[in-house]
Amino acid sequence: MLAFVGLGLYDERSITVEGREVLAEADRVFAEFYTSKLVGTTVADLEDYHGIEIELRDRAGVEQRPGPVLDAAGSGTVAFLTAGDPMVSTTHVDLRLRAHGRGIDTRVVHGTSAATAAAGLTGLQNYRFGKATTLPFPDVHGGVPDSVLDTLSDNADRGLHTLVYLDIRADEDEYMTAATAAGLLADARGDGLGVAVARAGSPGPVVAADRCSALADREFGDPLHLLVIPGDLHHLEAEALRELAGAPTDLVDVD
Amino acid sequence: MLAFVGLGLYDERSITVEGREVLAEADRVFAEFYTSKLVGTTVADLEDYHGIEIELRDRAGVEQRPGPVLDAAGSGTVAFLTAGDPMVSTTHVDLRLRAHGRGIDTRVVHGTSAATAAAGLTGLQNYRFGKATTLPFPDVHGGVPDSVLDTLSDNADRGLHTLVYLDIRADEDEYMTAATAAGLLADARGDGLGVAVARAGSPGPVVAADRCSALADREFGDPLHLLVIPGDLHHLEAEALRELAGAPTDLVDVD
């Protein structure tokens, strides 16, 4: 049995109670943190807190050499841990399909996710978000890729909000900040309202709404950050951005 | 202090460990189940499992008469429980803004959510979903509302998947099934690929991909159900729908 278990958003207590029980019953526990990372804890703290031993896998250890994980799941109960909700990355779908191909039962134990947390923390309504996008580090594409700009304009044309995931290089402990992202987008598509979200799921999340050019000059502290580019605002959304995120009144004026 | 705590997707163990701790420390615990509901547990089981007493609020008790909840939060620590991730409904944003207006600290303890679980269970990639929509019971609008059809075609034009939430009348214990939804959509917009998801977050979720007309003739068991209408498929998504959801090969053929 191979159980994909989401660790949730922030630290060792972000996992669900069910997930914790699955960990306690697992014969072996693998984890990967190259697609995303928990910034509020360490592997050692996760091990201590849950009383488990975690076998870390890098990208190659999942994508090119999944054999040991699958062998273990073929002969016992294996938990495969990832930050957030599992199966968000194609690499995990691929692993699940390989297990399925070997006749190994799989299950998914869900975790809290940035996708819904960003909506909840900003007061922007979940069903008013369009397609999400990921902003890569500028050295990857030499700027903001057209695909990101296309997603933003497609959503804007429909009045929809856009959740912008920010690139991480977990191996190098490098995380794009919301300030950097806001600056890049202000340059590439013109200034406008943005909402920075820092440390979603932590006890001290920061949510700040302002012009992207203004967000670019601010500091939001430790990772992970997200950026939301709002579309049309419902009056309650506007009020939330003003009251909970400090948006300048003229930026969120709705009839 | 008013803490909005997400109960997650299914039963009393779907809450995060952090959420459980917040419950244990709360002076009073309120809950509402009119926007969504946990189908794998009862209020009594939640109370027993977490060792708490839950004060239920109906819609009027939150939207028109929030006074008692706010008074309690002004003088102690209050947990306000909802299914899934909190703040997904405008009614909770409104309550948070009212607390904020009274100078009461608020926090959000996230929960697992259908929005990401549907992606994870189907193998469809989260970032390839467009705007979500909710299909109301036919007697509300006399059929499928234009707004739902517009969302589906907007997403389809862009090759994006659509998550279709299905109407619930929690008070009357009435839940639209994925079969009903698939039949309504097949009639209103023509037949095509759909993916039914039943009991996301439970130990026995069902995921089934087929023509909407075929899904309409099937039974997926207990609520809650969701329906996903896929857009263009990546080859790994097609494989997941075939292998994990039993999609007919000709329906998910990609180059």
- Is residue B214's pLDDT more than 80? yes
Which site among B48, B93, B157 would you substitute to test the A interface, given the most A Cβ atoms closer than 10 Å to its Cβ? B93
Q: Which residue of B has its CA nearest to A203?
A: B107
- Binned at pLDDT 50, 70 and 90, residue B89 comes out as confident
A17 touches chain B (CB under 8 A): yes
- Beta strand B193-198 with B225-229 is antiparallel
B85 to A112: CB separation less than 8 angstroms, yes or no: yes
Q: Minimum mean pLDDT among A115-119, A129-133, B158-162: which range?
A: A115-119
Domain co-membership, B138 together with B62: no
Judge if A75 and A100 occupy the same domain: yes
Tell me the average pLDDT across B207-227.
Answer: 97
Q: Is B59 on the interface with A (CB under 8 A)?
A: no
B85 and B175 housed in the same domain: no
Whether the per-residue pLDDT at B203 is higher than 80: the answer is yes
Q: How many Cα neighbours within 13 Å face the side chain of A124?
A: 32
| Binary contact (B112, A16; C-beta < 8 A) | yes
Name the one residue in this structure whose structure tokens are 């697609």. Answer: A35
At residue A173, the pLDDT reads 86
Q: Where are the alpha helices (DSSP H) in chain B?
A: 17-25, 43-50, 59-63, 67-75, 90-101, 114-122, 138-141, 146-157, 178-189, 212-215, 235-245
Query: B135 with B89, same domain?
Result: no
Whether the CB of B51 is below 8 Å from some CB of chain A: the reply is no
Parallel/antiparallel/unpaired status of strands B28-31 and B2-6: unpaired
The model's confidence at residue A213, banded by pLDDT at 50, 70 and 90, is very high
**Strand pairing category for B162-166 and B225-229:** antiparallel
ipTM entry = 0.95
CA-based nearest distance A70→chain B, Å: 17
Across residues A229-234, what is the average pLDDT?
A: 96
Give yes or no for a contact between A85 and A113, defined as CB atoms under 8 angstroms apart: yes
Closest CA to A113 of B35, B240, B16: B16
Q: Is there a single domain that holds both residue A240 and residue A143?
A: yes
Given B78, B109, B140, the domain boundary residue is B109
Q: Are residues B88 and B137 in the same domain?
A: no
The residue among A157, A236, A168, A223 whose CA lies nearest residue A196 is: A223
Residue A45's CATH number: 3.40.1010.10
Q: What is the mean pLDDT of chain A?
A: 95
What is the per-residue pLDDT across A151-171, written as a single tens digit (0 to 9) for each?
A: 999 999 999 999 999 999 888
pLDDT score of A172 = 86
Same domain, B74 and B102: yes
Q: How far is CA A205 from CA A118, A168, A221, in A?
A: 10, 19, 10
Token digits for B159? 């090759």
pLDDT-derived band of residue B251, with 50, 70 and 90 as boundaries? very high
Residue B141 pLDDT > 80, yes or no? no
For the segment B135-141, the average pLDDT, to the nearest whole number, is: 90
Give the pLDDT mean for B47-53.
Answer: 98
Regarding whether B123 and B222 lie in a shared domain, the answer is yes
**Cβ burial, residue B218 (10 Å; 0-12/13-18/19+):** middle
B22 CB neighbours in chain A (<8 A) are none
Picking from B77, B109, B141, the residue at the C-terminal end of a domain is: B109
Residues A200/A118, Cβ–Cβ less than 8 Å: yes
Q: What is the mean pLDDT of residues A185-189?
A: 96
Q: Are A2 and A104 in contact (CB under 8 A)?
A: yes
Domain end marker among B83, B109, B135: B109
For residue A255, is pLDDT > 70? no
Nearest CA distance, A174 vs chain B (angstrom): 22
What was the pLDDT predicted at B255? 62
Same-domain pairing of A131 and A82: no
Q: Which of A110-119, A183-192, B176-185 has the lowest mean pLDDT?
A: A110-119
Domain count for chain B, please give it.
2
Interior CA angle at A118 toward A115 and A120, to 5°?
A: 110
Per-residue tokens: A186: 């202000």
| Amino acid at the residue B84 | G
Same domain, B99 and B171: no
Do residues B53 and B126 both lie within one domain?
no
Reported as a pLDDT band with limits 50, 70 and 90, residue A52 is very high
Give dist(CA B185, CA B216) in Å, integer: 10
| Mean local confidence (pLDDT), A231-239 | 95
* Contacts with B9 from chain A: Cβ below 8 Å: 110
Residue A15 has pLDDT above 80, yes or no: yes
Average pLDDT over residues B20-33: 97
Per-residue pLDDT tens for A56-73? 999 999 999 999 999 999
Both A127 and A239 in one domain: the answer is yes
Per-residue pLDDT of B99-109, as tens digits, reads 999 999 999 99
Note down the domain range covering A33: 2-109
Q: Which residue has the higher pLDDT, A213 or B142?
A: A213
Domain CATH number, residue A163: 3.30.950.10
The pLDDT score that the predictor gives to residue B224 is: 94
